[in-house]
């Protein structure tokens, strides 16, 4: 294995593996830290953790365990992957995990770059944008677990880290690899260890990747991985895929603006059933019965709890944020297990926490990377008779669920 990656959620990890596979690397996603050695043919291993919203000490411990396993597989460079919307709180977890990995690897010029222009995320003058809107005005300020209320990555990261946060602006980045290498060295000389790097185009990300050739640790969204496969002599190529016949179900727990629009689009064309959070928390809804309903429908049936921010806040005010989130995640995991037992062979999920719960609930250890469905979302084979798509909340076109099913089926 050449490149070792640690992702702080499951959808983001598949996003990263997708980017590396498109770049020509044999990439595999692992759910948690594997117990044994990797297949020697794997060039890029992505250890997917569910560490984004857990206590800081737990996130650090899990990430360091993943690092040790990846080092044992022979990796020479490491990547810490977090969301392209930098999902975190002022108390963590991005900063503490980055600090711990940097210490373990003796890394002193650590790139911080969540940019992913293909999905509308860009970093300019240290600020994170979603399309033409500051992150803090994009809807992410309403996120139920990690509300992003400041678009300045330097300000947001500073309380999370023990180190000074630097910045490489657009001038050096537009200058290409050489300009970035020089600017990173200048920031290091000025005493900065974590360095936010601007990027508004794929060309910028490829230049950053080239500049990071000799750096032991890189952090960011999957976009900055665009330039990494070339450093290992890989060239882009088609990702092989065999479609999966059988029955499809879709499960959505994301409350993002994009997912809610996708739910509306899909519900007008396919059977859809809303999951009321209050019913789940109070035990009024049976997951096995919902799985029966899903498997009895034609088309691509969808069960969703994707509510608008006001409804989410009302539930959290009544039951508590952590209890509400945990109940919904456990419910969707139970539904996925039941649907799988009843014959589902294609499972499409939306939302990072929801997807993570479902992957864990189905005990999916290794995911082979297939072709891209939408930017940042690949098809994944979990077993000889099971394929899945794990979508981050804000990713995907309005007809995502239909597109995902077509790619998973190989049609």
Instruction: From first to last of the 411 residues of the chain, give the pLDDT tens digit.
Output: 999 999 999 888 999 999 999 999 999 999 999 999 999 999 999 999 999 989 999 999 999 999 999 999 999 999 999 988 898 888 889 999 999 999 999 999 999 999 999 889 999 999 999 999 998 888 888 777 788 888 999 999 999 999 999 999 999 999 999 999 999 999 999 999 999 999 999 999 999 999 999 999 999 999 999 999 999 999 998 888 999 999 999 999 988 889 999 999 999 999 999 998 889 999 999 999 999 999 999 999 999 997 777 787 888 888 887 888 889 999 999 999 999 999 999 999 999 889 989 999 999 999 999 999 998 899 999 999 999 999 988 889 999 999 999 999 998
What's the pLDDT at 265?
97
Per-residue confidence (pLDDT) for residue 90, from 0 to 100: 83
Contact (Cβ atoms closer than 8 angstroms) between residue 1 and residue 44: yes
CA–CA separation, 71 and 348 (whole Å): 32
Task: Give the DSSP letter of residue 181.
Answer: H
User: What is the per-residue pLDDT for 173?
Assistant: 98
* 3-class state of residue 246 by DSSP: coil
What pLDDT is recorded for position 230?
95
Q: Are 332 and 357 in contact (CB under 8 A)?
A: yes
**Measuring CA to CA, how many Å separate 388 from each of 169, 302, 368?**
39, 14, 10
Q: Which residue has the tokens 């597109």?
A: 403
What tokens does 234 get? 């890989």
pLDDT at residue 66 in the model: 98
389 near 404, Cβ under 8 Å? yes
- Size (the chain), residues: 411
Hey, what are 228's tokens? 């990494």
Q: What is the DSSP string of 30-45?
A: EESS-SSPPPTT-SEE
The rounded distance, in Å, linking the Cα atoms of 288 and 290 is 5
φ, ψ for residue 344 (rounded to 5)?
A: -65, 135
Per DSSP, helices labelled H in 302-372 are 309-319, 321-341, 352-361
Encode burial over 365-401: b for 16+ CB neighbours within 10 A, e otherwise.
ebbbbbbbbbbbbbbbbbbeebbbbbbbbbbbbeebb
Question: Which of 222, 197, 143, 201 has the alpha carbon at shortest distance from 394?
Answer: 143
**Pick from 5, 69, 81: nearest CA to 33:** 69
All domains of the chain, ordered by start, with CATH?
A: 3-231 (3.40.50.10840), 247-409 (3.40.980.20)
């Amino acid at each position: 294995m050449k490149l070792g990656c640690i992702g702080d959620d499951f959808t983001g990890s598949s996003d990263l593996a997708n980017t590396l596979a498109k770049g020509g690397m044999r990439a595999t996603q692992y759910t948690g830290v594997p117990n044994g050695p990797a297949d020697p043919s794997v060039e890029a291993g992505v250890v997917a953790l569910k560490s984004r919203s857990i206590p800081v000490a737990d996130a650090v411990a899990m990430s360091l365990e993943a690092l040790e396993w990846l080092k044992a597989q022979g990796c020479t460079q490491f990547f810490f992957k977090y969301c392209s919307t930098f999902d975190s709180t002022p108390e963590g977890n991005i900063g503490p995990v980055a600090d711990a990995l940097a210490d373990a690897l003796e890394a002193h010029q650590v790139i911080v770059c969540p940019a992913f222009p293909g999905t509308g995320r860009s970093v300019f003058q240290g600020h994170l944008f979603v399309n033409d809107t500051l992150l803090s005005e994009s809807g992410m300020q309403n996120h139920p677990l990690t509300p992003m209320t400041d678009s300045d990555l330097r300000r947001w990261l500073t309380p999370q880290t023990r180190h000074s946060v630097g910045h490489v602006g657009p001038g050096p980045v537009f200058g290409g690899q050489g300009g970035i290498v020089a600017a990173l060295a200048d920031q290091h000389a000025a005493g900065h260890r974590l360095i936010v790097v601007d990027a508004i185009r794929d060309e910028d990300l490829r230049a950053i990747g080239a500049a990071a050739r000799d750096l032991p640790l890189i952090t960011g969204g999957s976009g900055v991985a665009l330039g990494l496969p070339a450093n290992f002599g890989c060239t882009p190529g088609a990702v092989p895929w065999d479609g999966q016949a059988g029955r499809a179900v879709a499960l959505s727990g994301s409350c993002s603006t994009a997912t809610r629009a996708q739910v509306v689009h899909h519900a007008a064309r396919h059977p859809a059933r809303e999951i009321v959070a209050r019913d789940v928390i109070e035990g009024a809804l049976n997951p096995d019965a919902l799985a029966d309903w899903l498997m009895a429908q034609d088309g691509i049936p969808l069960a969703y709890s994707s509510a608008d921010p006001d409804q989410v806040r009302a539930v959290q005010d009544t039951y508590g944020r952590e209890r509400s989130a945990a109940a919904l995640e456990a419910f969707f995991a139970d539904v996925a297990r039941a649907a799988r037992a009843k014959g589902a062979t294609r499972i499409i999920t939306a939302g990072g926490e929801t997807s993570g719960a479902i992957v864990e609930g189905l005990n999916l250890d290794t995911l082979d990377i297939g072709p891209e469905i939408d930017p940042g979302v690949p098809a994944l084979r979990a077993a000889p008779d099971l394929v899945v798509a794990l979508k981050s909340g804000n990713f995907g076109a309005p007809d995502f669920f239909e597109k995902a099913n077509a790619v998973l089926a190989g049609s």
